[in-house]
Amino acid sequence: MTIETDPKSMASRLRARLAEDGTGISHSRALDLVAAQLGYRDWNTLAAARNAPPHPITVPILRTFPGEEARRFYVTFLGFTVDWEHRFEDGMPLYQQVSRDGCVLHLSEHHGDATPGSAVRIEISDVRRLQRELAQSAVYPLRIGLDSESWGDDLTVPDPFGNRLTFHTPRPTPDNGNR
């Protein structure tokens, strides 16, 4: 089944359906109702958000060391997927991209790419679920605590190379519904 998600088409279908039931509304009212259904304050807010340039994509590079430990930690323990790998030739340092739930990281064995001991903050939808998931893993016997603050929950996970990954879930605020 194909679902039409263009807001203007949705508004036209809403108007037509309401008219069939004997309720007439203006096109601008239908646009505002569709915008509200999609989580926006009004049609103008939705239109501005759809026309805004996309946010720049930032991909952190974390330094890892040669061997299988990076794959064991990032893939087997944290649940990332290897998207691609690159070596200039056999025996050269590995550079790879891993991702999980929209988070993308580059892991590099190249000496000059990054410094061990870096920190990355990653926003996720449910840090408590991730904490439970990691606590059940037999790969690393880490007992990682959750830090709760007024702005949200943080789970800081150290990797075997001295880097720190802080997974963060923000607390809901009263205006979250008004994008």
Structural domains in the chain, sorted by start: 7-51 (no CATH), 61-170 (3.10.180.10)
Show the tokens assigned to 108. 């590099």
Alpha-carbon gap, residue 152 to 21, rounded angstroms: 46
How far are the Cα atoms of 22, 55, 130, 142, 154 from residue 176, in angstroms, in the given order? 35, 19, 23, 34, 19
**pLDDT tier at 3, thresholds 50, 70, 90:** low
The tens digit of pLDDT for each residue in 47-89 reads 877 776 666 778 999 999 999 999 999 999 999 999 999 999 9
